[in-house]
Amino acid sequence: MHTHTAMSPSVPLQEMIRAIRSARTQCEERGVIQRECAAIRAQFRQADNGGRSHNLAKLLYVHMLGYPAHFGQMECVRMIASPRYSEKRVGYLGAMMLLDEKQDASLLITNSIKNDLSHSNQYVQSLALCTLACMGSAEMCRDLAPEIDRLLRASNSYIKKKAALCAVHIVRKVHELGELFVPAARSLLSEKNHGVLHGAVVLIIELCEQNPETLERFRKTVPDLVQIMKGLVLSGYSPEHDVAGISDPFLQVRILRLLRILGRNNEGASDSMNDLLAQVATNTDSTKTVGNAVLYETVLTVLDIKSESGLRVLAVNILGRFLLNNDRNIRYIAMTSLQKIVGTDHNAVQRHRGTIVDCLKDQDASVKRRALELSLALVSASNIRSMMKELLLFLSSCPPELRAHAASGIFNAAERYAPSQRWHIDTMLHVLITAGGDVRDETVPNLIQLITNASELHCYTVHKLYRALLLDISQQSLVQVACWCIGEYGDLLLKGDCQETEPVQVTEDDALDALETVLQSHMSSPATRGFALTATMKLSTRITDNVDRIRSIVSIYGSCIDVELQQRAVEYNALFRKYDHMRAAVLERMPVIEKNSPGHTNGESTGEAVKDVPTAKMKQGEPLLLQQPANQVCDLLDLLGGSEETLQPGPAVDCLVSGLSVHAAGTAGGDLLDLLGGFEPAELSPAPQVLAYDKGGVTLTLSCEKQSDTGLTVTLTASNSSDSDLSSFTLQAAVPKSVQLHMKAPSGDSLPARGTAKVTQMVVLNNPNKVNLKMRVRVSYTRQGSPFQDTVQIDSFPGLDAAGQ
């Protein structure tokens, strides 16, 4: 091709390319290129030698390989100004490759472009138009717009089509210039040349999208567009424009796009294109991609305008057919389209649910992803069972990057449409077994909350989880839930008989073996081991024979390196040794966890994963409330007159254990308070004090402080004016059922004689239903070796009105 070599010594383009390609290493290549660039630079500096276009072409090749070529920018400018077409051609190419609107050099070619736009030779004009449309800056566009408009009206087809797309670029760069091109664009629609027509349609689309008023004006062209389209669809074979039986698919698609824009939100326009769209939809041959491209655009148009329902159904059915197409591309775009309309045309899309679900099994990752999105959107109460089967099947074999999304989608669907609790629990377990590593953190407490709520299923659940645990202890979330259940419902596990599953005999040792395996496994995360240890501890009140084994496990972990585990083990040890009388109550069955209750956050409510041990020295007052086993607590309820009012022990009994500090080591004998040791007595609030109790020298005053609309803090202060010291002084409180109560730890438990020291205790109340606030307080202490108890009812609180608000 490039046979004429210049007088210059530089190597013609193709020889250079050969030389570069034969370099064996990157280093060698760089060497060749450096040499060539040096030669090219030298050539640029010389006068016109006839080989300039070769040099620039060489530079452009080097640029394409990724090497710097900015020293060629000025050469481009010079070449463009040359009278020779060969040089202009390369010069303009160079400008498009090396210059962009941000470079100063690009301004320098404005004049050349201007001149070349009115050149006598259309191929020169074409170069200018092409370059302007490629990298013309806003300024250049403003400058040359009138010239482009002129070319749109008075030139041959070759130039007109280029001018049209050049106008598109101008309008994108400088929106206000749109107005200038409207008349010309309108008249171009009556051209016969397809290239010009196509350019006109593209230009009109751009003008309409930029300016709503222009759009209004162009609506009048809908009948013309319909005519043109009809001509294309119904005409016979046209060799020049035929692509696999479709006449000019590019133009057809563009016209359909314009019709979409004009028909959007406009009944009249939509009506007038209805028939045409139906015709295209039914007549277009869908055996090849090109036909499907036109059908696809038709469907998009139908769904976007105000089409009549019959046409909409037709469109969705086309998408449904696409789903069955062998071509993966077509299935993919069908699903993206269905995804867009699953909200608005839900029922129509539901009809194709079967096919969509089948696409979950497609080999292609893109198709799978789309199918997952769409399947999740199509889940409803009526199809939940069958859909979930498919989704779970998908989850077991889906690509790793989709697992988290699939798992969370399944959880959401299960939560919304679960037909039964057992199904819900089974589903969540299945997900944990299959994809436990990809689920979110809140899944564990969520599932636990669900399980506690399904009380009839506790036996079934614990058996199922136990079996799962035996099979696989690597999925942390599953293991955590399983441990929690075994701890909590261990008694049910050991009983062996369960209606819903086959009976299997689980011995105490079996259960403890399972938990110990988790404790010792290197696969278990620290949090999981925490779960396992606490579960082991809980079992101590649910089994009969192997308590010693538990004792020894717990004591071993008292010297564990993991601080978290060590702390727990030490606390549990303490529970065994010093507070054995409290153990049963502390470890008893937990109440049902309410969703979004204060205790239901981050798993801490279950008392297991205590990620941040409370730093405040004030510990919760629960231990004092639970000195008596459960049945004696109920006695307090009787005092309050029946079941309406219940003691409020707080959401999670297990928190007791986590609340104890680690001061136990080194404390000789001592009582509970040493363990809680070292907190400051609560400040007496300056709020008004009311005497609530006065007997035997013991007085109890209280003051209140409103914290919020429903929240209140009550401070009880006890004092002893008698002559003898009082020890083991404790207060217990009960409030009406809907009121939440939270007792903070008291300042102490001894009231020395003659009021030398006081005991204070804070009680936090929350009265969301704003009921009449009452509080019953039980006072107990030991005086000279004899225990004493008394009760007082507080009906009014200082600082609140009569209704206790």
Partner 1 sequence: MFTERMYQHNLMRFLLLFSRQGKLRLQKWFTPLTDREKKKVIRDVMALVLARPPRSCNFLHWRDIKVVYKRYASLYFCTGLEDQDNELLTLEVLHRYVELLDKYFGNVCELDIIFNFEKAYYILDEFLMGGEVLETSKVAVSVSMENADTLQETMEEYMNRPAF
Nearest CB to partner 1, comparing residues 126 and 480: 126
Question: What's the Cα-to-Cα distance from 177 to each of 135, 201, 289, rounded to whole Å?
Answer: 17, 17, 38
Check: CB of residue 368 under 8 Å from CB of residue 362.
Answer: yes
Of residues 165 through 194, those in contact with partner 1 by CB under 8 A are: 165-166, 168-169, 172, 175, 194
Nearest CB to partner 1, comparing residues 208 and 428: 208
Check: CB of residue 749 under 8 Å from CB of residue 729.
Answer: yes
Instruction: Pick the binder of partner 1 from 141, 255, 273, 290 (CB under 8 A).
Output: 290
Minimum distance from residue 17 beta carbon to partner 1 (Å): 6
Binding mask 13-52 for partner 1 (x = CB under 8 A): -x--x---x-------------------------------
Of residues 465 through 524, those in contact with partner 1 by CB under 8 A are: none
What's the half-sphere exposure (Cβ side, CA atoms, 13 Å) at 335? 30
Nearest CB to partner 1, comparing residues 271 and 364: 364
Nearest CB to partner 1, comparing residues 198 and 744: 198
Minimum distance from residue 328 beta carbon to partner 1 (Å): 5
Minimum distance from residue 242 beta carbon to partner 1 (Å): 10
Alpha helices in 546-697 (DSSP H): 547-556, 563-577, 580-586, 622-625, 630-639, 655-659, 672-676
Binding mask 359-398 for partner 1 (x = CB under 8 A): ----xxxxx-------------------------------
- Asked if 332 interacts with partner 1 (CB under 8 A), we say yes
Instruction: Pick the binder of partner 1 from 110, 155, 329, 546 (CB under 8 A).
Output: 329
527 CB-near residues (< 8 Å, 6+ apart): 476, 480, 608, 609, 611
Minimum distance from residue 594 beta carbon to partner 1 (Å): 42
- Asked if 78 interacts with partner 1 (CB under 8 A), we say no
Of residues 674 through 713, those in contact with partner 1 by CB under 8 A are: none
Minimum distance from residue 402 beta carbon to partner 1 (Å): 14
Query: Which region, judged by CB under 8 A, interacts with partner 1, from 31-39, 87-95, 727-735, 782-790?
Result: 87-95
| Amino acid occupying residue 264 | R
* CB burial readout 696-707, b (16+ within 10 A) else e: bbbbbbbbbeee
How is residue 75 written in tokens?
Answer: 């050469």
**Which of 651, 648, 649, 646 has its CA nearest to residue 635?**
646
Q: Report d(CA 767, CA 799) in Å as an integer.
A: 15
Query: Which region, judged by CB under 8 A, interacts with partner 1, from 71-79, 322-330, 387-395, 709-717?
Result: 322-330
Of residues 220 through 279, those in contact with partner 1 by CB under 8 A are: 240-241, 243, 248-251, 253-254, 257
Check: CB of residue 518 under 8 Å from CB of residue 569.
Answer: no
Nearest CB to partner 1, comparing residues 10 and 126: 126
Check: CB of residue 616 under 8 Å from CB of residue 764.
Answer: no
Minimum distance from residue 552 beta carbon to partner 1 (Å): 55
- Asked if 198 interacts with partner 1 (CB under 8 A), we say yes
- Asked if 218 interacts with partner 1 (CB under 8 A), we say no
Of residues 145 through 164, those in contact with partner 1 by CB under 8 A are: 158, 161-162
620: helix, strand or coil: strand
Residue 28: what are its φ and ψ, rounded to 5°? -65, -45
Query: Which region, judged by CB under 8 A, interacts with partner 1, from 35-43, 143-151, 325-333, 508-516?
Result: 325-333
Neighbouring CB atoms inside 10 A of 460's CB total: 19
Number of residues that bind partner 1 (CB under 8 A): 76
Query: Which region, judged by CB under 8 A, interacts with partner 1, from 30-38, 79-87, 397-405, 588-596?
Result: 79-87
Question: What's the Cα-to-Cα distance from 506 to each of 437, 483, 489, 517, 628, rounded to whole Å?
Answer: 28, 15, 13, 16, 32
Nearest CB to partner 1, comparing residues 243 and 470: 243
Residue 764: is it exposed, middle or buried by C-beta count within 10 angstroms (0-12/13-18/19+)? middle
Of residues 732 through 761, those in contact with partner 1 by CB under 8 A are: none
Nearest CB to partner 1, comparing residues 337 and 747: 337
Minimum distance from residue 61 beta carbon to partner 1 (Å): 6
Of residues 637 through 666, those in contact with partner 1 by CB under 8 A are: none
Question: What's the Cα-to-Cα distance from 535 to each of 50, 484, 515, 541, 726, rounded to whole Å?
Answer: 90, 6, 8, 11, 39
Pairing of strands 759-766, 698-706: unpaired
**Which of 445, 416, 417, 443 has its CA nearest to residue 430?**
443
Nearest CB to partner 1, comparing residues 112 and 719: 112
Nearest CB to partner 1, comparing residues 17 and 757: 17
Minimum distance from residue 293 beta carbon to partner 1 (Å): 4
Of residues 104 through 143, those in contact with partner 1 by CB under 8 A are: 120-124, 126, 129-130, 133-135
Check: CB of residue 423 under 8 Å from CB of residue 458.
Answer: no
